[in-house]
A and B are shown apart, each in its own frame.
Chain A
Amino acid sequence: MISTAFEYQRANSLDEAIKKLQETGGRGKLLAGGHSLVPLMKLRMSEPGILIDIARIPGLAGIREKDGKIEIFAATVHHDVASSALLAEKCPVVAETAGEIGDPQVRNRGTLGGSLAHSDPSADYPAVMLAVDAEIHLKGPKGWRIVKASDFFQDLFTVDLAADEIIGGVQFAAVKSAGYAKLHQRASGYAIVGVAAALDVKGGVITSARLGLTGAGSHATRMTNVEKALAGQPLSAKTIEAAAKIAGEGIKHVNADIHASEEYRRAMIPVFTKRALEKAMARS
């Protein structure tokens, strides 16, 4: 549980951090809350030569509403998201998701940007980012780039993020009728299966739906078959019940470990889809 030796630097701006990343040419790694990176370093599964701490870059933490959209900056810790009054009012599912991450220590250190960049297959945020259809704002040497959440998560621990890019934050349109439900792995708190559901409802009819699934596969994905089944249907317990039934169908690879077999995980996808949808309906 002792990492290899490393150098520690602190960046005071995104540009400085990017410069440092370039200078260190592959040896440098960004450090935010350290709650994914440091455990890996202690197990010597990650051995960066230089850590570039971005956690205290001015302006990189915070939540605000801008031009009708919600903006969460990358270094915002989970606890601040979970306890945000703005989110509780406008988009409770995001606060709810943050509140389900790990334990209080983790929530007091871990950051949104770190979670998204790391993209653990069982992480909670990716599912909700898919459901709120977030835009992820990345800054690199050539400036800003925007990636849709649905394009960002690509594979196991793999995201659309270059070695010299930094997540600055996320932006999304607030959606009230959305919910997150997860089956906790009882040691770590991570999601064995986690589903975030967001519904656009007009006159009692679901105009469109977005569902993000985490924990089941190599990375978080949208459940488009469920989304289609919901669209155009009246918002009702019956609709939800029917749509949730097909959740997970057609997913080729589903994880298995000591906490949950593939069969059990598959069975849990409809269960938590239904629960997420029920929460969304309750908030509509």
Chain B
Amino acid sequence: MATTTPVLPKLVGQRVKRREDPRLIQGLASYVDDIKVAGMQYLAFKRSDVAHGRITRIDTTAAAAMDGVEAVFTGAQIAEIVPPMPIGTPFPSPAHHAVAVDVVRYAGEPVAVVVARDRYVARDAADAIVVSYERLPAVVDLEQAMTGKPAVIHKDFANNLAVALVPGGTGVGADYSVDDTAINKAFAAAEVVISQRMVNQRLAPTAIEGRGVLAHYEPGRGTMTIWSSTQNPHILRTMIAAMNGLGQDQVRAIAPEVGGGFGAKINIYGEEYVAAAISKKLGVPIKWVEDRSEAFVATTHGRDILGYIDLAAKRDGTVLGLKLRLIADIGAYNMLLTAAIPTLTMLMANATYNIPAIRVTLTEVFTNKTPTDAYRGAGRPEATYFVERAMDMLARELNMDPADLRRKNFIQPYQFPFATQMGAVYDSGDYEKCMDLALKNAKWKELKAERDAAKAKGRLVGIGMAMYVEVCGLGPSSSLPTGGWEHSGVTIERDGRITATTGASPHGQGNETTFGQMLADQFGVPLEHVTILHGDTSIVKQGIGTFGSRSQAVGGTALHLAGGKVKAKMAKFAAALLEANEDDLVFENGRVFVKGAPASGKSFAEVAAYAYVPVPLPPGLEPGLSDEAFFEPANNTYPFGCHISMLEIDRETGEPKLLKLIAVDDAGNLINPLIVEGQIHGGLAQGIGQAMIEEVVYNSDGQLVTGSFMDYAIPRAIDFPRFELDFTCTPTPVNPLGAKGVGEAGTLGSTPCIVAAAVDALSEFGVKHIDMMLRPEKLWRIIHGGKS
């Protein structure tokens, strides 16, 4: 008998369009600012306009007297209801008040808060607060700051050292005991040493939706509901409960639609704590929505790390040793993960190479700037940039093809799992295969000829390449203070539709689609019959969140495991219904049937209905089809790739133009190549942004000069050539999906490969390295003989 049911295609691995997009592009999605609760009052923050100063007086009388103003709080008053903010790293940290008490340490730090009837009154009232400061010298220059000059920002942190000096790598013991034999030997044997100071500049994450929070404490129930534009509602719940003396059962945290996070929405911010505490104190819902000017100063920045790198090698290109001295400018305070981000730069200093001896040291320094924290890539793009730039300089020094140099030093496939000098264990990799595909796609030989021909005509055209390996899919619980697992729940509803929850809290990653594809395949049902819920702690029982490119590798696996449990139980019901052996059953095309006999089976919905009205109840089974799973990977995953670029610089003006960007990435198995490509595109965009146009600039008074989009450039579509993407596939053994993670990868290879191309383009001027961003004037100075 011919079946009339159309055959459902397997969806995993297919280019399924994102289910999220129609609501997003039609304006049908709800962000924090769209959510309204009756009786809601608004917050506005009075922020410091000096970078460093002692508050001598705060006059709130005019503000308090304004019509529509409910309350005004100074820092001291907030300190009574909001304890100093906790951090998530094991480093010593100065007390950090949500609203400054006595001393302000960066321009934009809150000094007072207004509660008012609407945003407008709140803003006017905040403007009416008058604050006087005794100015203190602003600490702006990183290397000067390390000498305690021109001021010490936190009294218990001499020389502004937040993290004094952490050594890592070859010869460094778990107790930080240091044995220099190997590293000294490597450098003693060197025939060539590359040494360079490199700056990985400060960036502003600039999510298009800024931050926002709505806190609603209900005195009658003693419970708090908090909506926030966050990447991790469960972490938010933990922190809000702890800071407000509530149990986690009494707090519900909701991340509604989130318009971009890029790492800056992992941190739990003072504004969230203040909104929650004021809501609890006043018993009214409290909303705060960040504006763009605030976002530039009040949302954490990224990167800002200085590297002194020395690379030792033989003249045949064999790398012998690497020294990297890292100095991170972390701004004025430690936020949730601030101190940990540069440790990821340390961790990844081994890059894709066999390097016999590596020594990295890390110092983190306070300055009077906005604090830094995670930004897409978080520590790994910095490591990639430093090492790949040095490799490129070495290739140039040795007059070697940069690909040949890499080939000579790659960690080989048979070496995996590979324990690095930095303590990471790379799960799987085939770097040479990946590079070879990139070289092939780029037509490397022809590309070089094209460059040479252009140069012969006087054009400044250059090409560059870079390899990267990154750590993601975090990770075992030993690597995260929150725990390194993810959670998922799967319920087959009575009508055969599927509701699943994930503790990964997607905000642009497309997990409603990818997770839907997985369950649709697992149960043999249409994608439209699967709903993925996320971002609400009262619906999603447990979770960690989305960061570190972990949602698919860790959250996806939890989903897969939960689905497997439910499927096993459903098979038992179906076996009873069909009087068959559960092991012989197939779930396909919306039906459950004995292998080879689709027509004699039952529809998926019939089996589901039976599970909820189980007459008779099969022995040993409980009614219903719902289960959950936690998944903790034994290790992180280590995706990798090779990026190649071609760039031209205008000889007269120094303006750079990116002509080509060829990327080959390896993230293991891909659930949805279309979404993966989108993630790479976004990562490339932000990497290219860093290489070419993005830079946070402070003046010598500690004032942010790039405080708006008129002065802080973010890349737009017109800034890019058509990206040429491709993939190799080296599955990870760390999870059953074989998927690694791809959210950040694009930011890693792009910066060094573009700078390499710029240096190549300007080779006739003898330049060896150029710090990002590639400001036209900087390039013009190289071309026209000035200093760079």
User: Considering the chains assembled together, what is the distance between the CA atoms of A188 and B707 in angstroms?
Assistant: 12
Q: Per-residue 0/1 for A31-54: is the Cβ within 8 Å of any B Cβ (1 yes, 0 no)? A: 000000001000110000000000
Known A-B contacts A1-B292, A2-B123, A183-B653; A188 and B710 likewise in contact (beta carbons under 8 Å) = yes
Does the CB pair A44–B780 fall under 8 Å? no
Does the CB pair B713–A268 fall under 8 Å? no
Number of interface residues of A (CB under 8 A): 21
Does the CB pair B653–A271 fall under 8 Å? yes
User: Considering the chains assembled together, what is the distance between the CA atoms of A174 and B781 in angstroms?
Assistant: 39
User: Considering the chains assembled together, what is the distance between the CA atoms of A186 and B709 in angstroms?
Assistant: 10
A residues in contact with B713, CB < 8 Å: 186-187
Q: Does A258 contact B (CB under 8 A)?
A: yes
B293 CB to nearest chain A CB (Å):
5
Q: When the two chains form the complex, which single residue of A1, A188, A258, A267 contacts B697, counting CB atoms closer than 8 Å?
A: A258
Q: Per-residue 0/1 for B270-298: is the Cβ within 8 Å of any A Cβ (1 yes, 0 no)? A: 00000000000000000000011110000
A residues in contact with B120, CB < 8 Å: 2, 5
Interface positions, chain A 159-208, Cβ under 8 Å from B, are: 183, 186-188, 190
Does the CB pair A103–B780 fall under 8 Å? no
A residues in contact with B127, CB < 8 Å: 44
Does the CB pair B693–A186 fall under 8 Å? yes
Interface positions, chain A 246-270, Cβ under 8 Å from B, are: 258-261, 264, 267-268
Q: Per-residue 0/1 for B119-150: is the Cβ within 8 Å of any A Cβ (1 yes, 0 no)? A: 11001100100000000000000000000000
User: Considering the chains assembled together, what is the distance between the CA atoms of A1 and B293 in angstroms?
Assistant: 6
User: Considering the chains assembled together, what is the distance between the CA atoms of A43 and B123 in angstroms?
Assistant: 12
B residues in contact with A1, CB < 8 Å: 291-294
Q: Does B763 contact A (CB under 8 A)?
A: no
Residue of chain B at shortest CB distance from A39: B710
Q: Does A4 contact B (CB under 8 A)?
A: yes
Does the CB pair B293–A43 fall under 8 Å? yes
A19 CB to nearest chain B CB (Å):
29
User: Considering the chains assembled together, what is the distance between the CA atoms of A258 and B705 in angstroms?
Assistant: 8
Q: Which of A39, A44, A187, A268 has the most CB of B within 10 A?
A: A187
Does the CB pair B711–A187 fall under 8 Å? yes
B residues in contact with A190, CB < 8 Å: 710
B residues in contact with A187, CB < 8 Å: 693, 706, 709-714
Q: Does B784 contact A (CB under 8 A)?
A: yes
Known A-B contacts A187-B712, A258-B697; A267 and B293 likewise in contact (beta carbons under 8 Å) = no
User: Considering the chains assembled together, what is the distance between the CA atoms of A2 and B125 in angstroms?
Assistant: 12
Q: Per-residue 0/1 for A122-164: is the Cβ within 8 Å of any B Cβ (1 yes, 0 no)? A: 0000000000000000000000000000000000000000000
A205 CB to nearest chain B CB (Å):
27
Known A-B contacts A1-B292, A44-B127; A267 and B780 likewise in contact (beta carbons under 8 Å) = yes
Q: Does B579 contact A (CB under 8 A)?
A: no
A residues in contact with B776, CB < 8 Å: 183, 260, 264
Q: Does B218 contact A (CB under 8 A)?
A: no
Does the CB pair B293–A4 fall under 8 Å? no
Interface positions, chain B 633-681, Cβ under 8 Å from A, are: 652-653, 655
A residues in contact with B705, CB < 8 Å: 258
B265 CB to nearest chain A CB (Å):
19
Q: Does B716 contact A (CB under 8 A)?
A: yes
A residues in contact with B714, CB < 8 Å: 187
B553 CB to nearest chain A CB (Å):
36
User: Considering the chains assembled together, what is the distance between the CA atoms of A190 and B123 in angstroms?
Assistant: 30
Residue of chain B at shortest CB distance from A268: B653
A258 CB to nearest chain B CB (Å):
5
Does the CB pair B777–A103 fall under 8 Å? no
Q: Per-residue 0/1 for B690-731: is the Cβ within 8 Å of any A Cβ (1 yes, 0 no)? A: 000100010000000110111111101000000000000000
A residues in contact with B710, CB < 8 Å: 39, 187-188, 190
A104 CB to nearest chain B CB (Å):
10
Known A-B contacts A183-B655, A187-B711, A187-B713; A2 and B291 likewise in contact (beta carbons under 8 Å) = yes
User: Considering the chains assembled together, what is the distance between the CA atoms of A133 and B293 in angstroms?
Assistant: 39
Interface positions, chain A 13-44, Cβ under 8 Å from B, are: 39, 43-44
B48 CB to nearest chain A CB (Å):
17
Overall SS of chain A's interface = loop
B4 CB to nearest chain A CB (Å):
50
> Size class of B's contact patch?
20 to 34
Does the CB pair A261–B693 fall under 8 Å? no
Q: Which of A4, A103, A188, A258 has the most CB of B within 10 A?
A: A258
B residues in contact with A268, CB < 8 Å: 653
Does the CB pair A188–B711 fall under 8 Å? yes
A residues in contact with B706, CB < 8 Å: 187, 258
B578 CB to nearest chain A CB (Å):
60
A residues in contact with B780, CB < 8 Å: 264, 267
User: Considering the chains assembled together, what is the distance between the CA atoms of A176 and B293 in angstroms?
Assistant: 43
B540 CB to nearest chain A CB (Å):
33
User: Considering the chains assembled together, what is the distance between the CA atoms of A183 and B653 in angstroms?
Assistant: 8
User: Considering the chains assembled together, what is the distance between the CA atoms of A2 and B44 in angstroms?
Assistant: 11
Does the CB pair B119–A267 fall under 8 Å? no
Residue of chain B at shortest CB distance from A271: B652
B residues in contact with A44, CB < 8 Å: 127
B514 CB to nearest chain A CB (Å):
32
A187 CB to nearest chain B CB (Å):
4
User: Considering the chains assembled together, what is the distance between the CA atoms of A44 and B693 in angstroms?
Assistant: 28
A residues in contact with B712, CB < 8 Å: 187
User: Considering the chains assembled together, what is the distance between the CA atoms of A267 and B781 in angstroms?
Assistant: 11
User: Considering the chains assembled together, what is the distance between the CA atoms of A267 and B651 in angstroms?
Assistant: 12
User: Considering the chains assembled together, what is the distance between the CA atoms of A3 and B655 in angstroms?
Assistant: 36
A residues in contact with B784, CB < 8 Å: 267
User: Considering the chains assembled together, what is the distance between the CA atoms of A43 and B706 in angstroms?
Assistant: 14
User: Considering the chains assembled together, what is the distance between the CA atoms of A4 and B705 in angstroms?
Assistant: 24
Residue of chain B at shortest CB distance from A4: B124
A residues in contact with B293, CB < 8 Å: 1, 43
A residues in contact with B123, CB < 8 Å: 2
A residues in contact with B652, CB < 8 Å: 271
A residues in contact with B697, CB < 8 Å: 258
Q: Per-residue 0/1 for A222-262: is the Cβ within 8 Å of any B Cβ (1 yes, 0 no)? A: 00000000000000000000000000000000000011110
B residues in contact with A39, CB < 8 Å: 710
User: Considering the chains assembled together, what is the distance between the CA atoms of A268 and B653 in angstroms?
Assistant: 7
Does the CB pair B653–A258 fall under 8 Å? no
Known A-B contacts A1-B291, A2-B291, A43-B293; A261 and B777 likewise in contact (beta carbons under 8 Å) = yes
A270 CB to nearest chain B CB (Å):
9
B residues in contact with A5, CB < 8 Å: 120, 124
Residue of chain A at shortest CB distance from B710: A188
Interface positions, chain B 734-788, Cβ under 8 Å from A, are: 776-777, 780-781, 784
Known A-B contacts A4-B124, A187-B710, A264-B780; A103 and B291 likewise in contact (beta carbons under 8 Å) = no
Does the CB pair B291–A260 fall under 8 Å? no
Q: Which of A4, A5, A259 has the most CB of B within 10 A?
A: A259
User: Considering the chains assembled together, what is the distance between the CA atoms of A103 and B711 in angstroms?
Assistant: 15
A39 CB to nearest chain B CB (Å):
8
B175 CB to nearest chain A CB (Å):
46
User: Considering the chains assembled together, what is the distance between the CA atoms of A103 and B123 in angstroms?
Assistant: 30
Interface positions, chain B 547-583, Cβ under 8 Å from A, are: none
Q: Which of A5, A261, A268 has the most CB of B within 10 A?
A: A268
Q: Per-residue 0/1 for A61-103: is the Cβ within 8 Å of any B Cβ (1 yes, 0 no)? A: 0000000000000000000000000000000000000000001
B781 CB to nearest chain A CB (Å):
8
16 CB-based A-B contacts, threshold 8 Å: A2-B120, A2-B291, A5-B120, A103-B716, A187-B709, A187-B711, A187-B712, A187-B713, A187-B714, A188-B709, A188-B710, A258-B697, A258-B705, A260-B777, A264-B776, A264-B781
Chain A residues in the interface with B (C-beta under 8 A): 1-2, 4-5, 39, 43-44, 103, 183, 186-188, 190, 258-261, 264, 267-268, 271
Cβ-closest 10 pairs across A and B: A1-B291, A187-B713, A188-B710, A264-B777, A2-B123, A186-B713, A271-B652, A186-B693, A1-B293, A187-B711
Q: A44-B127, A187-B693, A187-B706 are in contact. List 20 more A-B contacts (CB 8 A).
A: A1-B292, A5-B124, A43-B708, A183-B655, A183-B776, A186-B693, A186-B713, A187-B711, A187-B712, A188-B709, A188-B710, A190-B710, A258-B705, A258-B706, A259-B777, A260-B776, A260-B777, A261-B777, A264-B781, A271-B652
